Structure 1
C-alpha cells in the first residue's frame, strides 16, 4: 500500500475528526447533557445492529476477499441475505411495537423517533458492507469522502437548528444523526453501483455462504462481547447514574475519538494489509514485532501528552463539562489499547482461530461489567472510565497472549510494562489532586524518552533525511 493510498485513507478519519471537533462543542452549548446522553445510546445501538445482523459475515468478506476468484459472488452471498433479514426484522418490530424502540432507547414514547431510528439502523447495516467494498478495493478517497459527507450534513443541520430557532430537543438531534447515516448509505450505494450490479447478476453459492459462516459466526459472539465491552460503561451510567453524567461521559468519549485519529486510520488499513502480505509475500515476524513497538510508543506519548494538556479542552465546553479534563486520558487510552491489540492479536486472524477473539472479549466484558457494577453508582462517569480502560487492558493482554499461543514467533511481552504504566497513571488521574497528577505525567514523559529511545531515534533520522532531501 503506497503513501498516496494511506494519505487518502487518512482524509476520512482526519476530516471526520475535525468536523466533530467543530460540531461537538456546538451541540453542548445548545443541547442539554441529557439529550447528548440519548444520542450516545442511539449510536450504541446502531453499532449493536451492525454486529448482530451481519453475524460475522462482513468480517468473512474481508478475510476471503483477496483469495476469492469471484468477488461479486462473494459479496452477494455474504451480504444480500443479511440485508434482507435486517429489513424484515426491524420493520416487523416497528409495525408490531411502534413505541418500543423510542421508549427503550430514549425513555420517550414516540412513533416518529422509532421510525427514524429504524431507517438509520437499516442504512447502517447496508453501509457496513458497501464501505468494505471501497476499503478492499483500496478506493481510499471515495471511502474517505463517504465518511466526511455525513459529518458535513450533520453540522449543517445543527447550524440550521440554531439559526432558524428550531426546537432544540431529542427529536431534532436524533433526526440530524439519522439523516447523516442515511446520507452516508446513499453515497456508498452510488460509489459502489457497478459492484452492486455485478453482485445482483451473480449466482447463489451456498458453499460460499457456508464457508463464510464457519469463519464469521464465532466472530458474532466475539463482536457482541466486544460491543458489551465497549458500551457497558454507558449502559450502567444510564441505569445506575444520571443522563447528565452519561452526557458528560459521552462528550469525553467523543473528544477521545477525535483525538484517536491515528487509531481510526490504522484500524482501517491494518488487517487487510496483513492479509494481503500473507497471500502474496508471506509474514515477516520481526517486521510485525517492530511495528508493535512503534505503535505502543505512539500510544504512550499520545496519552501522556493528553494528561499534561487536557485542561485546555475545558475552554471549549460549558462549565458543567469541567470533569472532561480528568476523564480524558482514561477514555483516550481505551480505544488506543484496542488498536494495539489489533497488532499484537493479529495471529488469531492469521491462524483463523477466531474463537480466541471471542474468549478475549468475554473475559474483558466480564471485567467491565464487574467494575461498572461497583464503581458507577459510587463515582459516576469516573467509575465508568476506570472500568472501561481496565477492561480494554485485559482485552489487549488476552488477545496478545492467545496470538502468541497460536503463532509462537510473535513476542510482544516486552511492551506490556509501558502500557501498564500509562494504565495506572490514567486511573490515578481520575482521583488525584492536580499537583500529583501533573507530577506523574511529567515522570512518565521522561520514562518514555528512555524506553522508546530507538523508535524516537528512527523518527529523528527520518525527519533529518526528509529535510535534507527538501533542501
Structure 2
C-alpha cells in the first residue's frame, strides 16, 4: 500500500542506509590518510558546532515540529518564519563573539591559533541552522524520498571533498572540517531551493496563525536547557578524554564513534520517520495505545539485533579503519548502547511530548548527565576510552528508564519492559565478554547464542513482522 507505515519508513530510510555505506567508505578513507591525533582534533570541531547550535536554535526547531500539524497548511510558512527569526538574532551575537575570541577558542579546541578555523565555525553554524530547518520542512511534509536524496547528496559531497582537500593540503585535520563545511553549504542551498515556496516569506506577516512568537519561546526555552544538559550528557566523554587523556586516545574513541555514527544513521532514519507519524496518529486516534506498543516491540528487537551484530563483528569492523586504529575495537561494544537506548526511548517518551510537559526533559537530561559525569570522572582517568564507553552506556540506560517511567505517568501503555531489560542485561554481559575475550571465533559463537535467545524471546514480533510484510506485498 502506498501509504503504509512500512513504505513511509522505506522512503525516509533508504537515504540513511545508502549514507551508511558512503559513510563507511569515508571512514575507511579518513583513517588511512590522517593520524588518530588529527582525527581527535577534527572531532573537536563537530563538538564545538553542536554546542553553538544548542544556544542559537534555542529549541525553536522542536517548536516547529510540535506545532506543525496544528497550523493550517497555508499558514505553516509563517510558523517557519517565526521559528527561524529567533535563531538569526542570536546568531549575530554568537558570530561576533567567535570572531573576537577566535584565537583562544581554537587554541583550546585544536591546540593552535587559527582564524581560518574560527571563520569555519561561524559559517558552519550559520548553514547548520538553515540546514536544520530545511530538512525539517521536508521531513514534516513527509516527503521521504526528497529527504533521503538530500542526505545521500550531502554524504557524496563530503566524500569527494575529502579526496580533493587531501590532494591539496595533505593529511591535516582541517580536511575533515573544510569537507563537511563545503558539503553543508551546497546541500543547504539545494534543499531550500527545492522548497522555495515554503521559504517565501514575502506575505507571511499578513497571515493569521495560531502560534505566536511567545508561544514558540514558551515551548522552546525549556528544551534549550534540556538540550544543553543533553549535549553535556552526550559529549562529556569526549571532554573527559580531552582533559584527562591525549589526542591519540581521543582519536581512537572518535574512530569508534564514526562506526557508531553509522548505526546512528538507523536511529536518525527511524526518528525522522517516527516523529511526524506518531504526532499525526495521536491527533487522529489519541486512545490507540496498541499502535505505540507494537512499534516499541518491533524497534526493540531490531535495535538489539544490531547491537549483538556489532559486538560480534567488532574486530572485523574496526579492521576496516586500518592498523593504526586496531585498539578501537574494545571501545566499540559499549558505545552501541547509545543508538540502541536512544532509538527505543523515542517510542516510549511520547507521553511527555503529547502532554507538552517539556520541563520534564530537563529533569531527564539532568539526571542522565549527572550519571555520565560521575561515571566518566571515575573511569576515564584509569581506563581511558574504554572507561568512557562504559560510563556512556550506563548513562544511556538511565536515560531510557527515566524517559519511559515519566512518560507512562502521562500516557499509559503496556510496553512489556521486563523482557526488554532482561535482554539489555544479557547484551551488557556479552559486551563485557567481548572486551576481555581475545578470540574472534569464540566471540562470534557466543554472539550466536545471544542472538538465538533473543529470537526466542521476540518470536511473536518476528511472526508479526513477517505476516505484515506478506500482507503489504499482497496489497501492493
Determine which of 309, 330, 335 is the counterpart of 1:331.
335
Query: d(CA) in 1 for partners of 2:128 and 2:321?
Result: 30
Q: 1:364 aligns with which of 353, 360, 368?
A: 368
Partner residue, 2:82: 77
Measure, in 2, the Cα distance between the counterparts of 1:468 and 1:346: 32
349-358 vs 452-461, greater mean Cα deviation: 452-461
Q: 1:132 aligns with which of 104, 115, 136?
A: 136
1:110, 1:351 → 2: CA distance?
47
SS of residue in 1 equivalent to 2:170: coil
1:340 aligns with 2:344: yes
Q: Secondary structure at the match of 2:70?
A: coil
SS at match of 1:380: helix
Is 2:449 the partner of 1:446? no
In the aligned structure 2, how far is the partner of 1:113 from the partner of 1:394?
36
Distance (whole Å) between structure 2 residues aligned to residue 199 and residue 60 of structure 1: 22
Pick the aligned partner of 1:420 from 425, 440, 443: 425
SS in structure 1 opposite 2:86? helix
Contact 1:33/1:243 (8 A) holds in 2: yes
Q: CA deviation at 1:220?
A: 1.1
Counterpart CA distance in 2 for 1:165 and 1:72 is: 42
Aligned runs of 1:145-156 on 2, under 5 Å? Answer: 145-156=149-160
Task: Tell whether 2:278 aligns with 1:310.
Answer: no
Q: 1:65 aligns with which of 61, 64, 68?
A: 68
Matched, 1:115 2:144: no
Measured at CA, do residues 331 and 297 of structure 1 come closer, stay the same or move farther in structure 2, by a change above 3 Å? same
Say which of 185, 192, 204 aligns to 1:182: 185
Moved more, 247-256 or 1-10: 1-10
Alpha-carbon distance in structure 1 between the residues aligned to 2:464 and 2:202: 46
Q: Would you say the 8 A contact 1:83–1:126 is kept in 2?
A: no
Partner of 1:34: 37
User: What is the alpha-carbon distance in structure 1 between the residues aligned to residue 220 and residue 13 of structure 2?
Assistant: 28
Kept in 1, the 8 Å contact 2:161–2:183? The answer is no
Secondary structure (helix, strand or coil) at the match of 1:194 reads coil
What does residue range 383-402 of structure 1 map to in structure 2 within 5 Å? 383-402=387-406
CA deviations 1:67-105 (Å, max 9, x no partner) are: 11321221111111212321x123211342232332232
Any residues of structure 2 matched to 1:240-279 within 5 Å, and which? 240-279=244-283
What is the match of residue 14 of structure 1? 17
CA contact 1:100–1:114 (8 Å) conserved in 2 = no
CA separation in 1, counterparts of 2:59 and 2:201? Answer: 23
Distance 1:260 1:54, change over 3 A: closer
Match of 1:25 among 14, 28, 47: 28
Match of 1:191 in 2: 194
- Measure the CA separation in 2 of the matches of 1:203 and 1:181: 32
Taking the aligned partners of 1:173 and 1:287, their CA distance within structure 2 comes to: 42
Deviations 1:351-370 (A, max 9, x none): 11112222111111111111
**Which ranges of structure 2 fall in alignment gaps of 5 or more residues?**
none
Normalised by the length of structure 1, the TM-score is 0.92
Distance 1:9 1:233 in 2: 31
TM-score normalized by the length of structure 2:
0.92
Name the counterpart of 1:91. 95
Quick check: 1:455 aligned with 2:467?
Answer: no
